[in-house]
Amino acid sequence: MAALFRGSRNLLQRCNKHVDLVLVSSRSMASKTPVGFIGLGNMGSPMAKNLLKHGYPVIATDVFPESCKELQDEGAQILDSPAEVADKADRIITMLPSSPNVIEVYTGPNGILKKVKKGTLLIDSSTIDPSVSKEMALAAEKMGAVFMDAPVSGGVGAASLANLTFMVGGVEEEYTAAHELLTCMGANVVYCGQVGTGQAAKICNNMLLAIGMIGTAETMNLGIRLGLDPKLLAQILNMSSGRCWSSDSYNPVPGVMEGVPSGNNYQGGFGTTLMAKDLGLAQHTATNTKTPVPLGSLAHQIYRVMCARGYANKDFSSVFQFLREQEEEPEKKGD
């Protein structure tokens, strides 16, 4: 009887090992299935390239066909619409400029939800209104798909180096599946809670980023007018209590740092238009929650004025140049 028990136990152990191997194999095979990517702009393109570098076949589309060529040359399959992507991939990442773009890509006539398959994981890395993320999650759920918001922080440089921070909102049980893809594109992946909480974290971060950038630009400008060398001033700030990301990693003064937009006539990076949009989201959510954000509101107005004054397509650190121009205007009027 004991021998029979031992034999049954050994057989059960072998069966369990076989099941484990099958599960591992299926997960491994799933990892090799195509990943859809929609939105190949300044951020989306390098993110999609990093998926390719990690061995994921990428099926992509963008409203501007010229944005697809570089990714296609690196091996991605390019299709004509989000619906076509959804028909061929059961894991899809979107990276789009604004809430209306997200609504169109998901629910429009050629949108993802027209052909999405049941069980598809939809990850939106756009920065949009949290309420829109919740709407998209409900719409996806009706189609049997799962939607998660996963906006990013870090900018174009971090996107290229796969060093982004992802703030993820959605069903916790699906977080592991999302994490597998996001770690190919970022160094930090943080679960924030239910759908919309990723967007909430991103909006708060960008409001602080804008306030910090304006403060850094004002400080550097004042120091320069007081006769301080800008590189020396930046060095002092970065070893003192005034240190922040805008001063030590993304300084807005031309010539202080290499490899940042201020050293390239404020080209590339994170556009002033997008910063104004994100601050508008912060303002909207602050109003809805009756939260006082006086500095956030002022930052929003400054970036809106910059958009109207020709800075819309420049990096948001061009607020330094904008402030310099403001001090020149009274002098011109005095002349």
- Catalytic site residues? 202
Q: Are 174 and 149 in contact (CB under 8 A)?
A: no
DSSP-based helix, strand, coil % in the chain, nearest 5? 60, 10, 30
Q: If you ran DSSP here, which 8-state letter would residue 188 be given?
A: E
Q: Are 257 and 251 in contact (CB under 8 A)?
A: yes
Rounded distance between C-alpha atoms, residue 67 and residue 245, angstroms:
30
- Residue 323 zone, left/alpha/beta (φ > 0; ψ -120 to 50; rest): alpha
Rounded distance between C-alpha atoms, residue 192 and residue 187, angstroms:
16
116's CB contacts (< 8 A; 6+ apart) are: 86, 122, 140, 143, 144, 145
CA distances from residue 45 to 39, 69, 76, 178, 281 in whole angstroms, order as listed: 8, 10, 11, 19, 24
> Which position has the token pair 């994490």?
179
Rounded distance between C-alpha atoms, residue 49 and residue 12, angstroms:
44
Q: If you ran DSSP here, which 8-state letter would residue 315 be given?
A: B
Question: Strand locations in 68-108, DSSP E?
Answer: 77-78, 91-94
CA distances from residue 104 to 94, 113, 142, 223, 289 in whole angstroms, order as listed: 12, 10, 17, 47, 27
Q: Is the dihedral of CA 27, 32, 35, 41 positive or negative?
A: positive
Q: What angle do CA 90, 274, 36 make, to 5 degrees?
A: 10
